[in-house]
Chain A
Amino acid sequence: MPGLRNFAREKSGRSALRMLVGGLVVAAFAAMAPAQAQEKQVLVLGVDISDARNFDPARMADYSSPITNGAVYDSLVTQKPGEYETVVPSLATAWERLDDGKRLRFTLRDDVMFWDGSPLTAEDVKFSLDRLLNVKDQPAVYASNLEKTEVVDAHTVDLYIKNPSEPIMINLAAPAFAIYSKAMTEAQGGVSTPGAEQEDSATQWLNQNSAGTGPYHMVQWERNAQIMLQKNPNYWGGEVPFERVVIRHIGDSAAQLLALENGDIDAAFNLTTEQLATLEDSADIDIARGLSLDYVYMTLTSGAELNEALAKTENRLAVAHAIDYDGIIEHLMGGNAVRPVNFLPIGVGGSTEELLEQIGYKEDLDKARELLAQAGNPDGFTFQLSYANAAIVGTSYQLLAQKIQSDLARVGITAELNPMDQVQLRTQYTGGETQSVITFWNPPSPEPQLWASASIERVAKRVRWDVPQEVRDVVAAAGAEQDPAKRIELYTEYTQMLQDQGNYILLFQPIYRIATSQAIEDFDLTAAGWQVQMGDIKPAQ
């Protein structure tokens, strides 16, 4: 074993040299190469980026791309890891509600420069947000409550809001609301006026470069190979720790693990539960943890025309009480997950583990049998459980579905498994044709209204739940409420209503784990879309 480790070290030493020779490093740096005590200049991340299609903030709709965009762009406001109820200043230092919230006035920092050295002004903010609206690609949906943007002066900008009772501040921190340089983008064919849908041609350039104010700027994207970021010499947040960041595409988790152990990469993003378990005791590798806001949930339909038994509330609640939630989290997730009560994940809208203790579903087979008897199905019933043939956060839907099937069998409920391709599942689920699905929720931003309104609007349609006005009123009131304590009260009331209804069963909310080498520190995960606080990562002291 020691021989092997030496070999690994020697190999990584050679690899650093090879990178120099490969022309990855500026010539001046290459000249200093022999220096042994050289501080680490390049941060290398191993990530599966095969899903990346777009890095243009106005078009981006992928899962891995925000890792890059979070490092190259800033928004008006941002969020700190773990504090998803509030926003903190970023490009804007202050903001105020005018006209009863119909207008939001932002005061910009006056010391921000884009990476090319040009100063940030209100014009750039207007350009970015206008372009978002007018390119009309996927991110525009998140800005549907934004009417228009007006420049007040060079460092003041007004955002006009269509419906002030719908909260918007947290959304503004999302990667879709990135602010970029009007001059740089227009030079590449960027258009922000109506008609941009057809006329804008900056995407191609924005997929290879960036035009933002973040700690790094993008210099290359090679599909399914790597993304290269360069230090922003004009960063407003102070000295940037690395010269370069290389995001290497490594689709295979075993290869990520090996590369990390060899010192070829500094962080491995996509390791499996089993692989991480082997690293727990490693002295050379740290594991960064971060509670996500994603979750895996199960739906049960209310539509009697799809399944008569499931249409009865007692039967749905019987299912909810027959699942071994702890077993799933403890064993399938290796303990690296929590469970929210209902549609709001832990960390937003007053959803906590204490609340789960109070009003969450608990495994209780006697109660489940009792509920079945109340529903008039004492011997249980049969329903179809659909899921995609895919892996999910270190496990797979297939394993989950089999576990749930065997759990439900204990009280006589038969879940007939119905695996299908992702596309078919999406089609049937969004069309409201499924009796029950297990699927994944990944929020565009940590605004509780996004979950709450989804659960009573589009997702409610999918499970054929005819939402009572009473529930709608509570959700609307929570969205409009400015007082945090009262807001949490309202959201708790709403959560209790979902619990009584029994259409949604939350299975788990994963704690994401990224294995990192000891060459770096301050590797902080966030549940916001960009996943990692890239600008904070430093070489180990």
Chain B
Amino acid sequence: MSALAGTQDQARGVGETPPVDRQRRLRRQLRRYWLAVLGAALVLAWIVIAILAPHIAPYPYEQIDLTQRLLPPSAEHWLGTDMLGRDVFSRLLVGSRISLLAGFSVVLIGAVAGTLIGGIAAYAGGRVEELMMRLTDLVLCFPPIILAMAIAAALGIGATNTVIAMLVVWWPKFARLARSLVIVQRNQEYVEAAVTIGYGPGRILLRHIMPNSMGPMVVLVTLDVGQAILTFSGLSFLGLGVIPPVPEWGAMVAEGRELIQQWWVAAFPGFAILTVVMGFNFLGDGVRDWLDPRSRTR
């Protein structure tokens, strides 16, 4: 991706004095992509926090002390305490783990499953393709809440089950994208060549077509992590997400939603969701811009 961008820029830079130009270009690039840089920084920061959380949290996240409940932010408790007297800041830090983990697993598993299904559909064509595409339509016309709730109810409440429920509604968009990408590749010369050599369809699909379709998929994946985190926290807000006392941001907002006076209980975890999702969205937006040749030339 970066190599591609580099060549284009060099092509444009022909004939100008390099050092001055590089500086100006850098500044221009920064102005265009400052959001993406900010996004990457946010995402990186949260990943670091998630890794270090247990070590940097000032209190154990599950430490209950009813005499310390609902204290406003102070030097001891930077973000105050919740209804059980637990330190909101510590819980918020540790909460990043489950959100990031859920976001990444939904998107990665969804992408792999969706790509396989969409890829097979497109490559096989005909009846199989039609059937699979109708299946994606079907999933899209469910009320997502009912589907997620019913699945969670059937499987039981918990992070893994919520991720499974999300996957059920998540794969179709990847399947659709994969299908359109494979259709483009299917008619390429190298595929025809592979067929002539006598490679089997499975090998062609996995070894040749898929790798060549990966680029756009990667973009969709980055863009989608934020969305997945948002959805996960929403389900968690509704009571489906995680089993306490493991802290999860959506559940933390739910716990504090009636505490308008003690706003810190709900406000900070929600802000954490906002920043991490913003990070992924800024990043994804920048990457998309970068990859999109039309938006670059103009």
* A-B CB contacts (within 8 Å), total count: 56
Q: Which of A330, A389, A419 contacts B66 (CB 8 A)?
A: A330
Whether B64 contacts A331 by the Cβ 8 Å rule is: no
Residue numbers in B under 8 Å from A272 (CB-CB): 258
Residue numbers in A under 8 Å from B231 (CB-CB): none
Residue A482 CB within 8 A of the other chain: no
Whether A419 contacts B261 by the Cβ 8 Å rule is: no
Give B73-121 interface residues, CB cut-off 8 Å to A: 83-85
Whether B258 contacts A331 by the Cβ 8 Å rule is: no
Whether A398 contacts B261 by the Cβ 8 Å rule is: no
Residue A467 CB within 8 A of the other chain: no
Whether B153 contacts A401 by the Cβ 8 Å rule is: no
Residue B215 CB within 8 A of the other chain: no
Please, how many angstroms separate the alpha-carbon atoms of A424 and B156 in the complex? 9
Please, how many angstroms separate the alpha-carbon atoms of A342 and B103 in the complex? 46
Q: Which of B70, B243, B260 contacts A419 (CB 8 A)?
A: B243
Please, how many angstroms separate the alpha-carbon atoms of A272 and B244 in the complex? 22
Whether A254 contacts B243 by the Cβ 8 Å rule is: no
Please, how many angstroms separate the alpha-carbon atoms of A421 and B153 in the complex? 7
Whether B244 contacts A398 by the Cβ 8 Å rule is: yes
Residue numbers in A under 8 Å from B261 (CB-CB): 274, 278
Please judge, given known A-B contacts A253-B258, A254-B260, A417-B244, whether A332 and B156 are in contact too, CB under 8 Å. no
Whether B260 contacts A405 by the Cβ 8 Å rule is: no
Residue numbers in A under 8 Å from B259 (CB-CB): 274
Please, how many angstroms separate the alpha-carbon atoms of A332 and B245 in the complex? 17
Whether A406 contacts B64 by the Cβ 8 Å rule is: yes
Please, how many angstroms separate the alpha-carbon atoms of A278 and B260 in the complex? 12
Residue numbers in A under 8 Å from B7 (CB-CB): none
Residue numbers in A under 8 Å from B83 (CB-CB): 332, 395, 399
Residue A327 CB within 8 A of the other chain: yes
- A367-409 interface bits toward B, Cβ cutoff 8 Å, 1 = contact, 0 = none: 0000000000000000000000100000100110111011000
Count of interface residues, chain A, beta-carbon cutoff 8 Å: 26
Whether B243 contacts A418 by the Cβ 8 Å rule is: yes
Residue numbers in B under 8 Å from A424 (CB-CB): 153
Residue A27 CB within 8 A of the other chain: no
Q: Which of A253, A331, A401 contacts B69 (CB 8 A)?
A: A331
Main SS at interface, chain A: helix
Whether A401 contacts B244 by the Cβ 8 Å rule is: yes
Give A274-305 interface residues, CB cut-off 8 Å to B: 274, 278
Q: Which of A274, A278, A403, A420 contacts B64 (CB 8 A)?
A: A403
Residue B234 CB within 8 A of the other chain: no
Whether B62 contacts A406 by the Cβ 8 Å rule is: yes
Please judge, given known A-B contacts A274-B261, A278-B261, A331-B69, whether A399 and B156 are in contact too, CB under 8 Å. no
Residue B180 CB within 8 A of the other chain: no
Please, how many angstroms separate the alpha-carbon atoms of A287 and B135 in the complex? 58
Closest chain A CB from B86 CB (angstroms): 9
Residue B262 CB within 8 A of the other chain: yes
Residue numbers in A under 8 Å from B156 (CB-CB): 418, 420
Residue B204 CB within 8 A of the other chain: no
Residue B157 CB within 8 A of the other chain: yes
Residue B239 CB within 8 A of the other chain: yes
Chain A minimum-CB-distance residue to B66: A331
Whether A420 contacts B84 by the Cβ 8 Å rule is: no
Whether B244 contacts A327 by the Cβ 8 Å rule is: no
Chain A minimum-CB-distance residue to B258: A272
Whether A403 contacts B239 by the Cβ 8 Å rule is: no
Chain A minimum-CB-distance residue to B251: A398
Closest chain A CB from B298 CB (angstroms): 50
Chain A minimum-CB-distance residue to B68: A331
Residue numbers in A under 8 Å from B245 (CB-CB): 402, 405-406, 417
**Chain B residues at the A interface, C-beta cutoff of 8 Å:** 62-64, 66-67, 69-70, 83-85, 153, 156-157, 239, 243-245, 255, 258-262
Known A401-B244, A417-B245; 4 more pairs at CB < 8 Å: A278-B261, A331-B69, A406-B63, A418-B157
20 contacts between A and B (CB under 8 A): A253-B258, A254-B260, A274-B258, A274-B261, A278-B261, A324-B66, A330-B66, A331-B66, A331-B69, A332-B66, A389-B157, A398-B244, A399-B83, A399-B255, A402-B84, A402-B245, A403-B66, A417-B243, A418-B157, A419-B239
Q: Sorted from nearest, which 5 A-B pairs have the closest CB atoms?
A: A331-B66, A389-B239, A406-B64, A327-B66, A419-B157
